[in-house]
Structure 1
């Protein structure tokens, strides 16, 4: 099939777009490879943005996914910074904001997601930030000076990572969360309690069930934050970490099947056989919703790129993501279960604690491990083997879990 495809166009140059391009070239595609990016800086990792980059411990060059010579060897026809605004599926063309029209034989959508700002006017306030791009992290990092006051709207993973980074920089940090607990959409209450205690112990003021939040700039350059119309504090900077919006509108407006994101099959193909999608924008083919993690973006893109070339490679990876906060490396495996099951807490001391969920059949559904990467690796093997597990052994920190090695 490769020799019948002369031109491939990729929209989006984040983790998924980078790995799609790399995979295509590494697997024999020698035709024209064009790529559209709304950022001038491309092919870089986003996880360090809220941690090492924000703290000034890592520069832009260190975030690059591939060495410069590898990127150069891909022989990419770049269109950046520019934005794709419409797809003509009949003519197999994409129109850009610049007015350019790019043709394709096959199209790959890796448009990802963007930071959600609940109130559009907040984006016009100088002291209000999001953390989604290198430029965002650099701009916010310049304000993180010891003694300053930082407010974070949203107690999800990005908000908590920024809170940890800012506290280590000596800032006074307050987290405002609309819900009743932290990271409520992705973890069980026991993990929310653990995260709350972790940040409180480090001096973060965590406020839950906040009610309506409003922001206003001041003449002094600070930001006034109000809760339900009552002034709640003046801050030197505010970070909006209120989740993400899936950037699926390009495909949706072109008539592709969508739900919360672009619907794809196990090989990344959309409802149009000439258009593939991967990463944040694409529905996980088994779970039925979008997964926002670098591992998903990378591996789903590899699968889709191979499949596009005729090497059908179904994607069914178990979700996995991680977060570094203070002295804790927190890894999350699997998806939260909604049915009957068993919740297990395994506390091994010395900051090593895990929260394990078994389904009704005693097979692992999900696991959150703090400072225990080996357990996560073992958990991946349990899931792959569909192994039934004894809850009493999992809960006993004196037991060596390698006895349960598949």
Structure 2
């Protein structure tokens, strides 16, 4: 028992749920630790799904966040596959779809997010896929045969990663984006242009501002795709990469404070002091919106788990995520600001370019680096130190930026 807590219940067994459970056990919680998961496969990484798993280069065991024996040693009371459908905050109970009712002293919500499918009927069509779970990646991987035709709906990170994987496997790929540019929600115009050229050069047919999309079963198999009522071709597989929906309904229906996700303080507490949240479902306490990234899910969960045990650990990490596409490792640090400041493009080679944004005081606001992980590490230190940086030096590839090491 820790601080009078004998039973902790975690809803969700993804990145955040796994690190919450691991942190609780590693920090002395020896009471009952129950985890509810709507998947049979638990505690695995999602970033490889659209890349190595999809390409058949990584099996399920290789995606585990911890060795199987380490997971076994956590002594978890599993409820899987099952789904939490209601929280009774007065009784401190959670009702599951199976009819089970689980009690708790403290509750951790790590329900994450799910793939968004804009048209409900699409999910019922043979040949239409999303990439959110291990099973999703396995099913889609069976379609990756050279010469087959794939359509991708959505020009965000998942859509682009699937496009890159499919092209490397020899498929013909067409990508359809309703907006005027790729990844418009997370990057500026220069980065969108870079991504467009990257995929076009690799043979992807990228169609921006494509108009209304309709999907119908094709005669003889596959899916017929139309744009604004005009046929655009038959495809063997269609991948819907139209963003994600935050799975906050469980907490919202229980009366927890919610905006785009569950509102939490710096220590992961929701508006109910006995309920914590972390990962995709939880609002970043400083930025005020949900961050969907591997690093955020892990580190916010660690902070919340320690705080739940009475070790107050505020979370304020700067957002950081990455994407591997073809020969490019693309890392993103920071968040877009208010539009005031300086934008810098640092070109160190055809495959090594960085997009740097400074605020009005020449402090680093965001950094997107292609094939330059050392610059990202340096950028993290600049942000932590609040350093004022010289724009001319950042723009000059001949300058060694290690001279700016805090």
With structure 2 as the length reference, what TM-score do the two structures score?
Answer: 0.99
Shift of 1:229: 1.1
**1:243 corresponds to which residue?**
243
Q: Kindly report which structure 2 residues correspond to 1:13-92, keeping only aligned pairs within 5 A, or say none.
A: 13-92=13-92
Partner Cα distance (2:40, 2:259) in 1: 30
**2:290 corresponds to which residue?**
290
Q: Residues 104-143 of structure 1, C-alpha deviation per residue, up to 9 Å, x if partnerless?
A: 0000000000000000000000100000000000000001
Q: Kindly report which structure 2 residues correspond to 1:166-185, keeping only aligned pairs within 5 A, or say none.
A: 166-185=166-185
Contact 2:3 2:309 in 1 (8 A): no
Shift of 1:256: 0.1
Q: Name the Cα RMSD after superposition.
A: 0.7
With structure 1 as the length reference, what TM-score do the two structures score?
Answer: 0.99
**Quick check: 1:193 aligned with 2:193?**
yes
What SS class does the counterpart of residue 313 from structure 2 fall into? Answer: coil
**Quick check: 1:165 aligned with 2:165?**
yes
Greater Cα shift, 285-294 or 216-225 = 216-225
**1:95 corresponds to which residue?**
95
Gaps of 5+ in 1: none
What SS class does the counterpart of residue 34 from structure 1 fall into? Answer: strand
Partner Cα distance (2:342, 2:127) in 1: 45
What SS class does the counterpart of residue 238 from structure 2 fall into? Answer: strand
Partner Cα distance (1:250, 1:193) in 2: 39
What SS class does the counterpart of residue 265 from structure 2 fall into? Answer: coil
What SS class does the counterpart of residue 4 from structure 1 fall into? Answer: coil
Q: Residues 337-363 of structure 1, C-alpha deviation per residue, up to 9 Å, x if partnerless?
A: 223110000000141100000001100
Partner Cα distance (2:383, 2:299) in 1: 18
Aligned pair count reads 406
4+ residue segments displaced more than 6 Å: none
Partner Cα distance (2:226, 2:403) in 1: 54
Gaps of 5+ in 2: none
What SS class does the counterpart of residue 239 from structure 2 fall into? Answer: strand
**Quick check: 1:326 aligned with 2:326?**
yes
**Quick check: 1:122 aligned with 2:132?**
no
**1:104 corresponds to which residue?**
104
What SS class does the counterpart of residue 366 from structure 1 fall into? Answer: strand
Partner Cα distance (1:124, 1:339) in 2: 42
Partner Cα distance (2:161, 2:350) in 1: 21
Partner Cα distance (2:110, 2:264) in 1: 12
